[in-house]
């Protein structure tokens, strides 16, 4: 499936947001996801299906000081 991920075209195997975060090897607790312009709660990731052409923005939070 082809998605727009952070502004770039990307081919992925995932069919749900939760699977995509795992496929990208991002830590679940440190990721924020926007799907087609809608920010998702982490509890929605497993029930949010991906479709060809979807637009996602994934931000990884990093602590520092």
**Total residue count of the chain as it appears in this document:** 65
Residue 9, Cβ density class (10 Å: 0-12 exposed, 13-18 middle, ≥19 buried): exposed
Q: Which residues of the chain have pLDDT under 50?
A: none
Provide the pLDDT for residue 65.
63
pTM: 0.89
Spatial distance between the Cα atoms of 4 and 20, rounded to a whole number of angstroms: 12
52-65: pLDDT as tens digits? 999 999 998 887 76
**8 Å CB contact between 20 and 48:** no
**Radius of gyration of the chain measured on its C-alpha atoms:** 11
Q: Kindly list the structural domains of the chain, giving each domain's residue range(s) and its CATH number in brackets, ordered by start.
A: 2-60 (3.10.20.30)
């Amino acid at each position: 499936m082809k998605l727009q991920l952070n502004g770039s075209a990307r081919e992925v195997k995932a069919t749900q947001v939760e699977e995509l975060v795992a496929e990208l090897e991002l830590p679940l607790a440190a990721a924020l996801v926007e799907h087609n312009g809608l920010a998702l709660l982490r509890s929605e990731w497993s029930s949010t299906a991906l479709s060809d052409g979807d637009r996602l923005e994934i931000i990884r939070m990093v602590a520092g000081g």
